């Protein structure tokens, strides 16, 4: 594919700085860019733009003395995503039910649906219009999948779960697996039936090998627009608010309630039966041990306000010197005590 810079600027609603007639043939990262490619620069990358070899760069404000042409937009990352979609269009999936798919009784399939090879769709499932179900997917009894959703290979949606519109499940995601509930008596663990389901609202995305357990009763709930990375686990009866980010290897224990616009950075772990407010941010590896008020920024294990954690981290780096100082002071104190006794 070949596009002039001006054509790309028109696509993303941007303004060209420099030669709009140059031809772009590919997209590349900032570090790997070459003369015929376009990339984007935000944050600290703008400071190093002179080192970039791209023929053009998408930025959010004009960079003086940049060695390449620029497209200036309000959101460089979003604009670059549009360019990526242009140069790398998605694979077209045939809109058909593959002959090897197994379809149960009383299944409702909407218009323009794709069901790939070796899929299993169980009784009473409802598949909305424009849904894509890729090979080896399992859809349980009574599942509802909203229009425009995309289920990648090997994903599993257990019985009674509900997926809204435009939900994306990446490969091997498991929705509605048995919640982890046991009663222990005299050291013996007895399974408690988990009879609830999982509800994913519109525009939720779930990463590869992420597992969201069904509720003991009621629903485990992920609200509209939340994006979940790979290898995340949500326990039974967890509720996640709208437009949250859950990054890789996050684990949230059962019955925790989370507000809107919350960010869980990678490997954050959360205890169960707590409440987290809106607009909270957790740094990577945070250990969440109790309720968190809205608009907090937390870090560390156990969690504490981020600024406090930064101070403690700085003190930790100075501990060896502080230990030497304490030992020296102790020697001086002992010497003074000895002098006092002698006098």
Positions marked active-site: 236
Residues 6 or more apart whose CB falls under 8 angstroms from that of 158 comprise 140, 143, 174, 175, 176, 177, 197, 198, 214
**Contact call for residues 238 and 256 (beta carbons, < 8 A):** yes
| Distance from C-alpha of 16 to C-alpha of 38, rounded to nearest angstrom | 13
Dihedral of the alpha carbons of 185, 187, 191, 196, in degrees to the nearest 10? 70
Say how far apart CA 58 and CA 81 lie, in whole Å.
11
Report the SS3 class of residue 75: coil
Place of tokens 């039936």: 193
- Between helix 319-342 and helix 306-317 the angle, nearest 10°, is 60
What is the dihedral sign for C-alpha 306, 312, 314, 317? negative
- Relative to beta strand 3-4, strand 23-24 is antiparallel
CA-closest candidate to residue 96, choices 80, 79, 109, 83: 109
Neighbours of 198 (CB within 10 A): 27
CB 169 within 8 A of CB 157: yes
Q: Indicate the angle between helix axes 76-87 and 5-12, nearest 10 degrees.
A: 120
d(C-alpha 35, C-alpha 50), whole Å: 13
């Amino acid at each position: 594919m070949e596009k002039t810079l001006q054509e790309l600027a028109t696509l993303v609603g941007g303004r060209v700085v420099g030669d709009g007639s140059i031809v772009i043939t590919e997209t590349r990262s900032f570090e790997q860019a070459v003369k015929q490619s376009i990339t984007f620069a935000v944050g600290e990358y703008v400071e190093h733009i002179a080192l970039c070899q791209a023929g053009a760069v998408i930025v959010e404000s004009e960079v003086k003395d940049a060695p390449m042409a620029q497209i200036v937009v309000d959101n460089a990352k979003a604009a670059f995503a549009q360019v990526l979609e242009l140069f790398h269009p998605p694979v077209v999936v045939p809109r058909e039910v593959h002959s090897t798919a197994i379809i149960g009784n009383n299944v409702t399939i909407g218009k323009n649906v794709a069901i790939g090879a070796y899929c299993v769709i169980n009784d009473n499932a409802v598949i909305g219009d424009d849904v894509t179900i890729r090979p080896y997917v399992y859809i349980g009894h009574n599942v509802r999948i909203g229009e425009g959703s995309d289920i990648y290979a090997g994903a599993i949606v257990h019985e009674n779960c509900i997926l809204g519109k435009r939900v994306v499940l990446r490969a091997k995601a498991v929705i509605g697996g048995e919640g982890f509930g046991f009663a222990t008596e005299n050291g013996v663990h007895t399974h408690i039936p988990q009879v609830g389901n999982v509800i994913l609202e519109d525009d939720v995305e779930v990463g590869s090998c992420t597992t969201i357990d069904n509720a003991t009763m009621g629903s485990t709930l992920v609200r509209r627009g939340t994006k979940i990375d790979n290898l995340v686990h949500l326990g039974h009866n967890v509720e996640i608010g709208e437009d949250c980010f859950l990054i890789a290897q996050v684990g949230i224990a059962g019955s925790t309630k989370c507000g809107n616009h919350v960010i869980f950075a990678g490997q954050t772990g959360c205890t169960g039966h707590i409440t987290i407010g809106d607009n909270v941010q957790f740094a990577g590896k945070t250990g969440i041990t109790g309720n968190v008020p809205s608009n907090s920024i937390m870090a560390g294990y156990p969690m504490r306000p981020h600024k406090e954690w930064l101070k403690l981290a700085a003190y930790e780096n100075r501990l060896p010197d502080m230990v030497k100082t304490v030992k020296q002071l102790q020697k001086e104190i002992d010497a003074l005590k000895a002098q006092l006794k002698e006098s």
